[in-house]
Amino acid sequence: MSVQSMFTEKQCINVLKVFDWVNRFVNIRLKEVIEIKPIIESNLICCRFSIPCDGTRTTVWSGIGIKNLVGSITIRYCSGCDGTMDVIVNDKKLASLKIGQTFSATVNQLTTVEVQCNGQPVSGFCDGELQIKVHFDLRDENEIDIQNVKCFLSDREGNPLDPLKPGTIECKEISDPHNRRNVNITLPNGKMVILQIVEVLKTGFVTVQFFNKKGEIIKVCTFPFSEIERFFLCAPEGTTVDCEITDFQCKVHAIPSLNKSAKCIDIVISLDICQSVQTVGEVKLEIEGKECKPRSELEGITVCPKPKIPPQCPFIFT
């Protein structure tokens, strides 16, 4: 419905031309070693005690129900009875003290500390002092659940990134765009073509989260990755390489060490990347057309219908 002139003109325009376009799948594998350090917390307990001199066995400290305790204990027999004071740790007698003597020891899997005074009473009771430094080994609570390890694309600080967003995985040509090497390629139809070798570097970061049996995050590690790929493309001088990530999957497996005393585990990270790679360049096109003007608006019509989006045409390389 436009008004057109009677004459046609030739026009030159600059456009981006796709010289070649390929889709490729690449798998990047990383193998890392993670050090697992036991987490130790300590408490210092100091107290005085007074117990009968008649041989009654008395508990002065108990940690029953708490696992993986390591305790450094010091007991001093201050006064009270003319006999000895027995020191009993985890139901085992470790020392007999006289007045003024001190006993010290470090005990694994500490559960109880007991004392027993034997002798004729002077005051009816014997007095002593206890100092105990307890170390809590939280290894069980912070043990990695190797069945629950996750990974995702991130920045160098470990912040999650959208892998389909341009630039989150850096993709750049490392071959010389002004001196790409030619290579003869025979197509499946038997035709011989000359293509160029294009080398592309992909870099980025992936973060791995480790969980304990309770599903709590106990460790986070971020690792860099890189991969160099070689493409055979129609890439004459003047063209550039564009990469688009169309799909990204990250899988990670934790492998326990065969050495039970080792403080580390192995992890294997597998990155599956689907990508679209194009070589593009500016070209000048000459087109023939007629000058046109917009038609007159129709009176009484004020609603503009939404334009229909034409279907996408697939690229076909021949």
Quick: pLDDT tens for 259-291: 665 677 889 999 999 999 999 988 888 888 777
Residues 70, 183: one domain?
Answer: no
Residues 31, 63: one domain?
Answer: no
Is residue 198 within 8 A of residue 21, CB to CB? The reply is no
Is residue 189 within 8 A of residue 197, CB to CB? The reply is no
pLDDT of residue 309: 47
pLDDT of residue 262: 61
Residues 149, 227: one domain?
Answer: yes
Quote the tokens at residue 276.
């679209």
The rounded distance, in Å, linking the Cα atoms of 6 and 186 is 49
Residues 105, 173: one domain?
Answer: no
Is residue 275 within 8 A of residue 241, CB to CB? The reply is no
Selection from 184, 62, 40, 179 nearest residue 114 by Cα = 62
Decide if 294 is inside a domain. Answer: no
Residues 151, 166: one domain?
Answer: yes
Quote the tokens at residue 300.
């009484």
Residues 159, 250: one domain?
Answer: yes
Q: How many domains does the chain have?
A: 2
Decide if 310 is inside a domain. Answer: no
Is residue 77 within 8 A of residue 98, CB to CB? The reply is yes
Decide if 215 is inside a domain. Answer: yes
Selection from 252, 280, 276, 277 nearest residue 266 by Cα = 252
Q: What is the side-by-side strand order in the sheet with 102-108?
A: 40-52, 125-137, 69-79, 102-108
pLDDT of residue 217: 87
- pLDDT tens string 286-297: 888 777 777 665
Residues 217, 263: one domain?
Answer: yes
Decide if 272 is inside a domain. Answer: yes
Residues 132, 160: one domain?
Answer: no
CATH number at residue 119: 2.60.120.10
The rounded distance, in Å, linking the Cα atoms of 238 and 243 is 17
Is residue 199 within 8 A of residue 144, CB to CB? The reply is no
Selection from 108, 102, 104 nearest residue 134 by Cα = 108
Residues 58, 97: one domain?
Answer: yes
Residues 55, 126: one domain?
Answer: yes
- DSSP at 122: S
- DSSP at 160: B
pLDDT of residue 207: 96
Is residue 61 within 8 A of residue 114, CB to CB? The reply is no
Among 111, 137, 163, residue at a domain's last position:
137
Decide if 314 is inside a domain. Answer: no
Decide if 296 is inside a domain. Answer: no
Confidence (pTM): 0.60
Ranges under pLDDT 50 in the chain: 1-5, 304, 307-318
- DSSP at 176: -
pLDDT of residue 168: 92
Decide if 86 is inside a domain. Answer: yes
pLDDT of residue 7: 65
Could you tell me the residue range of the domain that residue 83 belongs to?
40-137
Beta-carbon contacts of 21 under 8 Å, excluding residues fewer than 6 positions away, are 276, 277, 278, 279, 315, 317
pLDDT of residue 37: 67
Quote the tokens at residue 195.
């293509």
Q: How many residues does the chain have?
A: 318
Residues 161, 82: one domain?
Answer: no
Decide if 147 is inside a domain. Answer: yes
Which residue intervals of 196-240 are DSSP H helices? none
Among 106, 137, 168, residue at a domain's last position:
137
Residues 106, 93: one domain?
Answer: yes
